[in-house]
Amino acid sequence: MRILIADDEPGTRTVVRRILMRHFSCEVGEVDNGMDALERLGAAPHALLLLDVKMPALNGIETLRAIRGHASTSALPVVMMWTRTGSRSARVVPRLRRASTASGTRRRVCPEASRGTRRYSRSGRASPFHMA
């Protein structure tokens, strides 16, 4: 199984990669922007994409639109990640919904996002992971 992490923060990529490699037997690739993610996805099939919302070159929402608009990647499972919370999060969720349905297929943003609630990690920080 091949998983791609697209995040501009090296620390986030490292933590996520270590978790995936520790708990799953998979090949993990890393890129730091949306353009590189699209190139990597076009070069080889992947089982999952973990995609940061805010990145340089091509942000996560624009990347998701491109993925959903291309026949070879439109069915790819994508988990959207971001670390900012509050009013910015309230604006991001509707944009994720629009981007995830760009190809005409209906994708679900997790119920926690729909209700405006958040899951919290042990440190007490919000952890808004949303499926798109």
Q: How far apart are CA 21 and CA 28, in angstroms?
A: 7
Q: Give the whole-number percent of the chain exceeding pLDDT 90.
A: 48
* pLDDT number for residue 106: 47
Domains of the chain listed by start with CATH number: 2-131 (3.40.50.2300)
* pLDDT number for residue 25: 84
* pLDDT number for residue 100: 57
* pLDDT number for residue 57: 86
Please list the ranges in the chain whose pLDDT falls under 70. Answer: 83-132
User: Largest Cα–Cα distance of the chain, in whole Å?
Assistant: 40
* pLDDT number for residue 32: 95
Strand ranges inside 11-67, DSSP E: 27-31, 48-52
